Amino acid sequence: MNDWRTLPEMRPFVHLEPMETDSGSIVPNSCSTANNLTVLQHYVSQLPVGDTLEVGLAFGASATLLSLYHHKRGVGTVHHAIDPFQTSQWGNAAMKHLGRCGLQGHFQLHAEPSALAMADLVRANKKFVLVYIDGSHLFEHVMSDFMLADQLLIDGGILAFDDSSCDHVAKVVAFVRANFSDAYKEESPYDITAPAQSWWKTRLAKLLGRQQLTIFRRLRASTRAWGTPLTNF
C-alpha cells in the first residue's frame, strides 16, 4: 500500500481535509478511493513516458496524483482532465488545489462534456498512455467514453473504469469483456493492492459484481468489422 505521508499534496483526499472553493472551504467528496489511487500510481510508474487522461475531475484526487507524477518525472508530459462542471458544480476546487501545489504546468483542463472533448483529442491525433474513466456514470456516456478512449490509447496503454460495480458502468465493462477481448486484456487491481489474496479477491468481487476498479490493457486495435456478431453481455 501507499505511504501517503510522502505526498502532502494528497492530504485533502486521503485525510478529508477541507479544500478551498469559489464559495468557501468544503471537505472533498466523490473522490477516487485510496485503493484506486494506489493502482493508478502503480500503472503510471510502469508505463512508457506519455500524457495521461481522465474523464471527471471533481475535487481532483486522481488529477493531483497524476499531475504530481508528471511533475516528478520532469520530462514535459501532462495530465489532461475533462469536466464541464469544474466551475459550476465544484467551485474550481481542483483548479485552486493544483495551482497551490504548483502543478498547473503539468495539468490541462478540458471544460466540456467528454464526448466533445475526447472527439477533439482524437481529431488532434493525441495519444495517451493511461485513460481513467470516472465521469458521468450513465451507461450511454460511459459507452461513449470507452469508444473514444479506444482511439486515444497507445497499444500497451491502460484503460481504467472507476465505479465498475455501478450497473451502468458494469454494463460497459461487460461489453468490453465480451466483445473486445482481441484488443483488451483485463488485469486485476488486487495484484497491486492485495497481492497475497489477489486470486480469491478477484474471483469473489467479480462473482458479486463488487469490483470498484476495472483495469484493461490495450493490446492492439480491435479487428471488429461490419458484420461482426455481437456477443451477448
Ligand X SMILES: C[S@@+](CC[C@H](N)C(=O)[O-])C[C@H]1O[C@@H](n2cnc3c(N)ncnc32)[C@H](O)[C@@H]1O
At its nearest, how many Å lie between ligand X and the CB of residue 153? 17
Assess 9 for contact with ligand X (CB under 6 A).
no
Stretch of 15-23, 68-76, 128-136, 180-188 lying at the interface with ligand X (CB under 6 A):
128-136
- What does residue 215 show for φ and ψ, rounded to 5 degrees? -115, 130
Based on CB atoms, which residue is closest to ligand X, 115 or 194? Answer: 115
Based on CB atoms, which residue is closest to ligand X, 33 or 198? Answer: 33
At its nearest, how many Å lie between ligand X and the CB of residue 99? 16
Based on CB atoms, which residue is closest to ligand X, 50 or 60? Answer: 60
What x/- string results for residues 138 through 177 when contact with ligand X is judged by CB under 6 A?
---x------------------------------------
What x/- string results for residues 85 through 104 when contact with ligand X is judged by CB under 6 A?
x---x---------------
Assess 60 for contact with ligand X (CB under 6 A).
yes
- The single residue among 82, 103, 192, 205 that binds ligand X, judged by CB under 6 A, is 82
Assess 30 for contact with ligand X (CB under 6 A).
yes
164 DSSP β-pair partners: none
At its nearest, how many Å lie between ligand X and the CB of residue 222? 24
Comparing CA positions, the residue from 217, 130, 151 lying closest to residue 181 is 217
Distances (CA, A) of 188 to 90, 197, 212: 32, 11, 11
At its nearest, how many Å lie between ligand X and the CB of residue 230? 25
133 DSSP β-pair partners: 55, 161
Distance, in Å, from the CA atom of 122 to the CA atom of 80, rounded to the nearest integer, reads 13
Based on CB atoms, which residue is closest to ligand X, 107 or 179? Answer: 107
Distance, in Å, from the CA atom of 177 to the CA atom of 175, rounded to the nearest integer, reads 5
- The single residue among 40, 61, 95, 149 that binds ligand X, judged by CB under 6 A, is 61
Q: Cell for 139?
A: 451507461
b/e sequence 215-231, b meaning 16+ C-beta within 10 Å: bbbbeeebeeeeeeeee
Based on CB atoms, which residue is closest to ligand X, 70 or 183? Answer: 70
Based on CB atoms, which residue is closest to ligand X, 58 or 153? Answer: 58
Q: Which residues bind ligand X (CB under 6 A)?
A: 30-32, 54-62, 82-85, 89, 113-114, 134-136, 141
